[in-house]
Amino acid sequence: MSDRLQIKRSLTDANTSNVEFGELAFTANGDILYIGDESNNAIAIAGKRTPGTLTPNQAIVVDSNSEINSFTANTITVKTYLKEPGDAPLNRKVDLLWKKIGFNKATTDLISNKLATDETITSNLIISPSEIWNQAGSIPSTKPSSNAGVVVVYNELESVEDSTSESYRTWSTNQINWISDRFGSTYKIQVYVDSAGSGNPSSNGTQLLQNGSGNDDEWYFDYQSGTLHFIGVNIPSSLVDGKTVYITGAKYSGDTGFSGVSLSSANLVNATITSLSTPLEVKDGGTGVSSFTANSLLAAANTSTMAFKTGSNGQVMFVTDNDVEFGDLDGGTY
């Protein structure tokens, strides 16, 4: 009687066969230990593995650094958070940037609890002086039905597909400085899909909601550049050959920069004024003088203005009744 237990084995076969239910088998070619299932198929349960290398049909064994060379999956559900060593979770950082840059909103909760469209605290980015809408105060809180003042209204403007991007992924209105719903809820753009050249996309086409249809087909509109981008994994199913994107909203058409700006109660620090259309008044630190008088003396005409005083040869300057005058020197009588 043998003092050892032997199992089925092979020196040549990489994958053993003819294994009965519950039987063990080992192949030296693959260095794998198998067990037979209820259908007499060999199931790999142990044996040689290459730590850190992902091998088809084998268990994942990480190397000494807890790493693996690659990982491929169609769908991954993360129950925890991606995190850099000793730092905040990475997906929370991305959420913060997404809400800050994309929506000018401060992050107050996890994306699982509050989407960017649900955040309410405004946190605007700093922009350059040349981009300042100096007539923004003229934008009404409700979007007008037609062009009015500094507001240009677009009803179902047909967009152009960006040929440099994935098909149907990005669309351009070729208009900049769109007015966002920061100025009022009615300025939030509406997006429709309809046939090219359609005359009434809102009635004949399909409206696309910003958060998508539930099929990872969300969109994001950049109000500054006037571009629509489908930021979700999928493109909306209604957007196929022959269809195009239409945008309804409004843009700002007023002045930008500081040209023509009226400042009220402003505190200018280290400012240099190179020219003025009218003289700076005395009360503001100027003279109020727009022209000069030859052979005259600049003096205070009253408590708020300056004036030129002129005398004749031999006259002297004196003050009478709080006003500067010139006259002859008269010693009087005695």
Domain housing 20: 1-72
> How large is the C-alpha radius of gyration of the chain?
40
pLDDT of residue 179: 97
Confidence of residue 81 (pLDDT cuts 50, 70, 90): low
| Comparison of pLDDT for 116 and 143, the residue scoring more | 143
pLDDT of residue 245: 97
Are the C-beta atoms of 121 and 108 separated by less than 8 Å? yes
Say whether pLDDT at 226 is over 80.
Answer: yes
Same domain, 122 and 142: no
Same domain, 67 and 95: no
Residue at which a domain ends, from 48, 72, 96: 72
pLDDT of residue 131: 86
* 332 part of a folded domain: no
Same domain, 10 and 37: yes
Say whether pLDDT at 195 is over 90.
Answer: yes
Same domain, 114 and 181: no
Residues 127, 236: Cα–Cα separation, whole Å: 33
For the chain, the average pLDDT equals 83
Same domain, 236 and 167: yes
Q: Which residues are within 8 A (CB) of 286 and not within 5 positions of it... i.e. 6 or more apart?
A: 279, 280
Same domain, 61 and 111: no
* 158 part of a folded domain: yes
* 259 part of a folded domain: no
Same domain, 134 and 111: no
* 202 part of a folded domain: yes
Say whether pLDDT at 249 is over 80.
Answer: yes
pLDDT of residue 300: 76
Say whether pLDDT at 133 is over 80.
Answer: yes
Chain-centroid distance of CA 214 in Å reads 23
Same domain, 95 and 37: no
pLDDT of residue 3: 66
Residues 204, 200: Cα–Cα separation, whole Å: 6
Confidence of residue 265 (pLDDT cuts 50, 70, 90): confident
* 43 part of a folded domain: yes
* 274 part of a folded domain: no
Say whether pLDDT at 150 is over 90.
Answer: yes
Same domain, 157 and 232: yes
* 166 part of a folded domain: yes
pLDDT of residue 64: 79
Residues 274, 251: Cα–Cα separation, whole Å: 33
Q: DSSP assignment, residue 105?
A: B
pLDDT of residue 317: 81
| Comparison of pLDDT for 238 and 125, the residue scoring more | 238
Residue at which a domain ends, from 27, 47, 72: 72
- pLDDT tens for 20-43 read 888 888 887 777 888 888 888 888
Residue at which a domain ends, from 207, 230, 252: 252
pLDDT of residue 95: 86
Say whether pLDDT at 282 is over 80.
Answer: no
* 266 part of a folded domain: no
The percentage of the chain sitting over the pLDDT mark of 70, rounded to a whole number, equals: 89
pLDDT of residue 82: 56
Same domain, 50 and 103: no
pLDDT of residue 86: 54
pLDDT of residue 205: 96
What total of structural domains would you count in the chain? 4
Are the C-beta atoms of 297 and 309 separated by less than 8 Å? yes
Same domain, 108 and 214: no
Same domain, 162 and 122: no
